[in-house]
Homo-oligomer: A and B are copies of this chain.
Amino acid sequence: MRNVVNRQDGEPMPKDVMDFFRASAGRWFSQRNSHHPAGRRFEGGRSELEITPLAPEDGRVAEICRLYRFEAAGVAGAVLVEWKGTIDRDSKTHTGRTILVVVPDAQDPAQGSILQDKPATEPLPARYRVGDDDVLTLSTTSNQGESEERLWFASPNLRLRTAIVRYPDGTRVTTFCSEVRRAEAAASKGERSQSQTTD
């Protein structure tokens, strides 16, 4: 894997969805704001994220493919995302983890399917697309609503993310996250520095 922490501004940004996830590997501090346009409400929050790319051969990947009835041979890679966060005006800490499996379209690897473990209801794959401006767009449809998420790197150590979710009752919520990479001082998790890198 490339040492993305040491990439400099001006170097080419990731062009491929697995490049994108490899560039996302590591720990991030995420600031989040959601807008509820109808009610004119804001909601803020903060999270710690840890993103770990997984090899196509990982056992969890094959299991998720079976759930969606996808051929494991088409998998380009996968990524484990773990988070721990808080929402303003709520003292509870929310934690979670998910695995995303990437299956590029045979005809056009700039787009394809994303299989997520623990699907909400029926296992319906999400879709991804990498634009010529290096923005990764993820689209999900389920009976709980539709979401469109866009992610891009402002620099190797600053990732931006927006999401719009439309619920079946017509309401919608837009969310913005600024994600700053954590410096990793040592190889072991226990010794990781809490300081932030600059970009």
Contacts and interface: CB of A to CB of B under 8 A. Distances in A.
Number of identical protomers: 2
Could you say which interface size class chain A belongs to? 20 to 34
A73 interface: no
A164 interface: yes
Given A33-B33, A37-B31, A40-B31, A137 B133 contact: yes
A182 to B, nearest CB: 12
A18 to B, nearest CB: 19
**Taking chain A's interface residues, is the majority helix, strand, or loop, or is none over half, making it mixed?**
strand
Contact of A162 (B148, B162, B180, B196): B162
A158 interface: yes
A196 B38 CA distance: 8
Interface of A: 29, 31, 33, 35, 37-38, 40, 42, 44, 46, 129, 131-133, 135, 137, 148, 150, 154, 158, 160, 162, 164, 170, 172, 174, 176, 178, 180, 196, 198-199
